Amino acid sequence: MSAAVTTHIDDSKTLWGGGVEPLKASYGKLMMWFFLLSDTFSFSGLLIAYGFIRFSNLAHDPSITGFSPDHWPIPEHVFTHIPFWHGHAPLVFVGFMTFVLIMSSVTMVLAVEAGHRMDKKAVEKWMLWTIFGGFVFLGSQAWEWSIFIAGIDGHTASLVSNPYGPPAFADLFFFITGFHGTHVTSGVILNIVIFFNVVMGLYERRGSYEMVEKVGLYWHFVDLVWVFVFTFFYLV
Amino acid sequence: MSHGHGHSSHTQSHAVEIPAPQTKWIWKTFWILTAITAFEFLIAFIKGPLHLPHLLVVTVFITLTLVKAFYIVADFMHLKHESKTLIMSLALPIIFILWLIASQLNEGSYVFDAIHNFHNFLTK
């Protein structure tokens, strides 16, 4: 207890002398957190726009078989395809994508944990797995987009028209999953840059793997956003 | 990874021993997230056959989503170990999002009435 009090007094002495981290987090980490807060607002704007537009359209009518251009579709009727199999598998592929992102979030924390122990080889290994997971997710999303755009019986999906429901449904699909996919893409690029620095021994020489932690924050945020996209675009 | 191990050992041979990994809490969080996602799937598949009320299903989905979000932010992003001021300065602005959700969903149903239910819209 007395040690803590001493530290506190030291802090107040040097508070304006530089070298003190406000909120006990480094500048880079704080800025990443506040950037992610602003990004939360961007994604909230998109998902709330989805709610607004869905609420201003006619809800799905169970008495109509198939899709109607006037009624908002039920997502599990739209996303029913999985690769290499021609059966009816609602939401299975998007479940796989969700699992891939959770898994790559786990490998990212494992990289951060290895960084705390200054275990260069383990950081390299887990960063590589994280990058791999990112590519699997992006490939899956590209496949899902191509199936979505291919549409039904020659009626393709675009920004002006789609076979599933009102035009806004496809617009929001492209904007929301696209904006998220763009984030995954930049996350993969950042991860590759940091992986390269790890391999070159930059953080080993610096004596800290905090950069891995900072890109880790971004990567987890991308996973976090997907959790919400999954619920509000695919489940409800 | 074994081919790279000998390479690094000559730079680390004089450094301190690398401590053993402490990953139990990471896998615990992983299983929580996976189990919740699996449960959400279960509901998505049984809600039709069991005729579960829509409001109940949506409430369960949103609650589980918030639980997952909590575990990702608190554990994976390490926020629960940050200073309380940092936690609050990130959590409190979410109030604006809650306001936006409430106002825009309400507004959306007014627009619905204006388009599809014009008589009701005039008498509201």
**In whole angstroms, what is the distance from residue A180 CA to residue A203 CA?**
29
The 10s digit of each residue's pLDDT in A121-179 is: 999 999 999 999 999 999 999 999 999 999 999 899 999 999 999 999 999 999 999 99
Q: Does A209 score more than 50 pLDDT? A: yes
Mutate to test the interface with A, among B5, B76, B111 (most CBs of A within 10 A): B76
**In whole angstroms, what is the distance from residue A139 CA to residue A74 CA?**
24
Identify the pLDDT of residue A10.
Answer: 53
**Minimal C-alpha gap between A157 and chain B (Å):** 24
- pLDDT-based confidence at residue B121 (cuts at 50, 70, 90): low
Q: Does B59 score more than 50 pLDDT? A: yes
The first and second tokens of residue A49, run together, are 């726009």
Q: Using the beta-carbon criterion (under 8 Å), do B69 and A220 form an inter-chain contact?
A: no
Is B82 or B4 the better-scoring residue by pLDDT? Answer: B82
**Minimal C-alpha gap between B119 and chain A (Å):** 16
Mean pLDDT of chain B: 85
Identify the pLDDT of residue B97.
Answer: 96
Identify the pLDDT of residue A55.
Answer: 93
Q: Does A29 score more than 60 pLDDT? A: yes
The 10s digit of each residue's pLDDT in B13-57 is: 445 788 988 899 999 999 999 999 999 999 988 988 899 999 999
- pLDDT-based confidence at residue A62 (cuts at 50, 70, 90): confident
φ and ψ of A155, to 5 deg: -85, 105
- pLDDT-based confidence at residue A32 (cuts at 50, 70, 90): very high
Q: Does A44 score more than 60 pLDDT? A: yes
Q: What is the ipTM of this complex?
A: 0.86
Mutate to test the interface with B, among A227, A228, A236 (most CBs of B within 10 A): A227
Identify the pLDDT of residue B7.
Answer: 44
> Which residue from B96, A18, A98, A180 is spatially nearest to A106, judged by alpha carbons?
A98
Identify the pLDDT of residue A14.
Answer: 59
A85 touches chain B (CB under 8 A): no
> Which residue from A228, A217, A187 is spatially nearest to A35, judged by alpha carbons?
A217
Identify the pLDDT of residue A75.
Answer: 87
Neighbours of A57 (CB within 10 A): 20
A52 touches chain B (CB under 8 A): yes
- pLDDT-based confidence at residue A111 (cuts at 50, 70, 90): very high
Neighbours of A44 (CB within 10 A): 18
Identify the pLDDT of residue A61.
Answer: 85
Mutate to test the interface with A, among B77, B120, B121 (most CBs of A within 10 A): B77
Q: Does B12 score more than 70 pLDDT? A: no
SS (H, E, C) chain A: CHHHHHHHHHHHHHCCCCCCCHHHCCHHHHHHHHHHHHHHHHHHHHHHHHHHHHHCCECCCCCCCCCCCCECCCHHHHCCCECCECCCCCCHHHHHHHHHHHHHHHHHHHHHHHHHCCCHHHHHHHHHHHHHHHHHHHHHHHHHHHHHHHCECCECCCCCCCCCCCHHHHHHHHHHHHHHHHHHHHHHHHHHHHHHHHHCCHHHHHCCCHHHHHHHHHHHHHHHHHHHHHHHHHHC
Identify the pLDDT of residue A1.
Answer: 42
Q: Does A101 score more than 90 pLDDT? A: yes
The reply to whether the predicted model has a pTM over 0.90 is: no
Q: Using the beta-carbon criterion (under 8 Å), do A102 and B34 form an inter-chain contact?
A: yes
3-state class (DSSP) for residue B111:
helix
**B43-54: string of b/e by CB count within 10 Å (b at 16+)?**
bbeebeeeeeee
- pLDDT-based confidence at residue B6 (cuts at 50, 70, 90): very low
A210 touches chain B (CB under 8 A): no
